[in-house]
Amino acid sequence: MKFNLDNLVRENIKKMTAYSSARHEYKGEASIFLDANENSFGSPLSVNYNRYPDPLQWELKNKLSSIKGVPSENIFLGNGSDEAIDLLFRIFCSPGKDNVIIFPPTYGMYEVCAETNDVLVKKVPLLENFQLNLEAIEEAIDANTKLIFVCSPNNPTGNSIDRTDIEVLLNNFDGLVVIDEAYINFAKQKTFIPELTEYPNLVILQTLSKAWGLAGLRLGMAFAGQPIINYFNKVKYPYNINTATQQLAIEALGNILSINNWTKTTAEQKDWLSEEIGKLKFTQFVYPSDANFILVKMDKAKKYTNTS
Ligand SMILES: *Cc1c(COP(=O)(O)O)cnc(C)c1O
């Protein structure tokens, strides 16, 4: 079998007509809008939010495009990465029929979204060195496997997944390989974004919640080929990114130098902290981290973490 996006998408999603909003249909500049029943007096705030936001967030995407080196057409923006994860299930996985593969221990939202959507989760645990078990993955894949989630750097282990192993998945799996790069800014390993032109089955998730310090704004990014982005846009809420978030994110993206400094400092402090924790007498092992957190194996770990 060869990769074919239309074979992966749920029939109902393929057939449906997307909601077309007033802001969607009107293109151009106007000083008076009467087509969306908004309040023409303004807002009871010092900043006006009386108008609906740009449904496709072009100004923000253009800014991200130049920072990330990817065309705006290859970007989807969500209410956190979590929205992108949920939409992947809703676009590609038929409830009660399809399945996805995850590699525990890993980020909890993949399984939560799967359960919300009544989609089976196949778990292929990471090896002892927290790398992929390629043989077991091959065995787990069946005709109804739609998505494979690779979290790299992985939460909670902190390591990056071997690039060549991810490439094996990309080259051999006919569903989508979703690489969650929430911690990529801290990693020595490079992003897979340049590989988008190579792999039509690649989806990359990033977020402004970690290195960018904007967890409260809720802005997640998905990068993928245009056919996949088109499906995201078809299924998402028409105005999923509010005006305040769009404006504040645009402003924040102008401060990339501060972010680069913070990221560098975080990496230095992480190295220092890893070394110091390693000296504690109840520390068994400090795992190498490519993220902004550290996994530590300790004697009687439950005793130190039990908050009840
Ligand atoms: C924190 C985190 C995210 C971020 O999710 P948002 O919804 O964008 O805040 C995504 N993936 C992983 C693995 C994370 O740890």
* CB of 209 sitting under 6 A from ligand 1: yes
The atom number, within ligand 1, closest to the CA of 154 reads 13
* CB of 182 sitting under 6 A from ligand 1: yes
* CB of 160 sitting under 6 A from ligand 1: no
* DSSP line for 249-264: HHHHHTTHHHHHHHHH
H-helix segments, the chain: 5-8, 11-15, 22-25, 58-68, 81-92, 109-116, 134-140, 163-172, 226-235, 243-253, 256-279, 301-305
In this prediction, residue 56 carries a pLDDT of 96
Cα-Cα-Cα-Cα dihedral of 176, 123, 83, 80, to 10°? -110
* CB of 220 sitting under 6 A from ligand 1: yes
Minimal-distance CA residue to ligand 1 atom 2: 182
H-helix segments, 151-225: 163-172
* CB of 175 sitting under 6 A from ligand 1: no
The atom number, within ligand 1, closest to the CA of 106 reads 13
In this prediction, residue 306 carries a pLDDT of 63
Q: Which fold has domain 5-252?
A: Aspartate Aminotransferase; domain 2 (3.40.640)
Among 94, 91, 98, which Cα is nearest to 18's? 91
In this prediction, residue 307 carries a pLDDT of 64
Q: How distant, in Å, are the alpha carbons of 65, 74, 141, 186, 203 from that of 191?
A: 14, 15, 25, 11, 12
How far is C-alpha 264 from the geometric centre of its chain's CA atoms?
22
Pocket probe for ligand 1: among 76, 81, 106, 292, the residue whose CB has the most ligand atoms within 8 Å is 81
* CB of 151 sitting under 6 A from ligand 1: yes
* CB of 57 sitting under 6 A from ligand 1: no
Q: Residue 109 C-alpha to ligand 1 middle, in angstroms?
A: 8
Residue type, 148: I
Contact 118, 126 (CB under 8 A): no
pLDDT digit string (tens) for the chain, length 308 residues: 589 999 999 999 999 998 888 777 777 777 778 888 999 899 999 999 999 999 999 999 999 999 999 999 999 999 999 999 999 999 999 999 999 999 999 999 999 999 999 999 999 999 999 999 999 999 999 999 999 999 999 999 999 999 999 999 999 999 999 999 999 999 999 999 999 999 999 999 999 999 999 999 999 999 999 999 999 999 999 999 999 999 999 999 999 999 999 999 999 999 999 999 999 999 999 999 999 999 999 998 888 776 65
Q: How distant, in Å, are the alpha carbons of 22, 27, 38, 102, 108 from that of 99?
A: 37, 40, 42, 10, 16
What does the domain layout of the chain look like in residue ranges?
5-252, 257-305
Cα-Cα-Cα-Cα dihedral of 47, 259, 75, 104, to 10°? -120
* CB of 157 sitting under 6 A from ligand 1: no
How far is C-alpha 69 from the geometric centre of its chain's CA atoms?
17
pTM assigned to the model: 0.95
45's CB contacts (< 8 A; 6+ apart) are: none
